[in-house]
Structure 1
């Protein structure tokens, strides 16, 4: 019991290092990246063009509608998501699993767009 207790205490008090292994199922992706799933699925969905005139407008709507803690969380999740080292095709499939249903702005690759989104949100959090 003492061994298990020590493991539980470490797990609950310390922010573990995120796994470098990509999730395998839709549930695992959404469980591991809940705020990124919210951002992509709720703001960059199949009806995106009916609600927003641009990617910037959708991102601004997201930023204005969530807490600063959620903004910090999504910046970390984007960093972890991109850190999985997935190929561009795997990244596209993973983003679709998280709810992304629109292409990034014209002329911008998905990986770069996510880096840009992360930077915009981080800048907003910093003030």
Structure 2
């Protein structure tokens, strides 16, 4: 019988966050060796230090405990343990790799190695740092957008109309943070793609200009039907 969500989070929740940072990336079991964390782990450390620093100790504990007590095949099949996804390593190398990850996290904590803020460098980090933009861009600006909406403005209006105002405000804040990175246009294209946007910004707007416009329009206070609310007298 598989674990209930509460039990899973208590035992493996932060371990799952660490491993998720590696998904879709080729892992070399010896690539980080003595030189420090690899790019995926750097992304996890950077984001977590600046958003949930208290979770790092939990991550170190869960990763190390899992490495010390790897589950057998039967218990994995029963769903009683966390199954490490395929990260490109042979099964025999997983335990050593996990110990190395735990050691890097421990060293970062003990030495206070707080990575400076930086532009996200992995797919996981983009989505961890801008979760509501990933929801907006991936959900409303996928390749199906032209079949569902008349144009980009209609998609934005539908998002604003169907989403709680507090969540819309979160998206506005993430747009501001993304724009504050000062990306050039080619990097803006990459950022939008990493966050799930599968259609080009509407002409004649450059990617950064469209993001600024979308941010401005979402920031407008709206009434119950998505229209700008009357100004208070």
Fold-level similarity (TM above 0.5): yes
Is residue 203 of structure 2 the alignment partner of residue 106 of structure 1? yes
After superposition, what is the alpha-carbon deviation per residue over 1:22-47, rounded to whole angstroms, capped at 9, x for unaligned? 11111110010011111110001111
Q: Relative to total residues, which structure has the larger helix share, 1 or 2? A: 1
Per-residue displacement from partner, 1:66-122 (whole Å, max 9, x unpaired)? 111111111110010011111110111011000111111111111111111111111
Partner of 1:23: 120
CA contact (8 A) 1:43 1:58 kept: yes
Which portions of structure 1, spanning 4 or more consecutive aligned residues, are displaced by more than 4 angstroms? none
1:11-90 equivalences under 5 Å are: 20-90=117-187
2 CA distance for matches of 1:94 and 1:120?
20
Q: Note the C-alpha offset of 1:20.
A: 4.1
TM-score, normalised with respect to structure 2? 0.45
Q: Do 1:82 and 1:111's aligned partners in 2 also have CA atoms closer than 8 Å?
A: yes
Output the CA distance in 2 between the equivalents of 1:54 and 1:86: 25
Q: Secondary structure at the match of 1:114?
A: helix
Query: How large is the RMSD of aligned CA atoms in angstroms?
Result: 1.8
Q: TM-score, normalised by structure 1?
A: 0.81
Q: Give unmatched runs, 5+ long, in structure 2.
A: 1-52, 55-115, 223-227
Greater RCO, 1 or 2 (C-alpha within 8 Å, sep 6+)? 1
Q: 1-side partners of 2:221 and 2:207: how far apart?
A: 21
- Give the match's secondary structure for 2:181: coil
Aligned length: 111
Say which SS state the counterpart of residue 125 (structure 2) adopts.
Answer: helix
Counterpart Cα distance in 2 of 1:51 and 1:35: 20
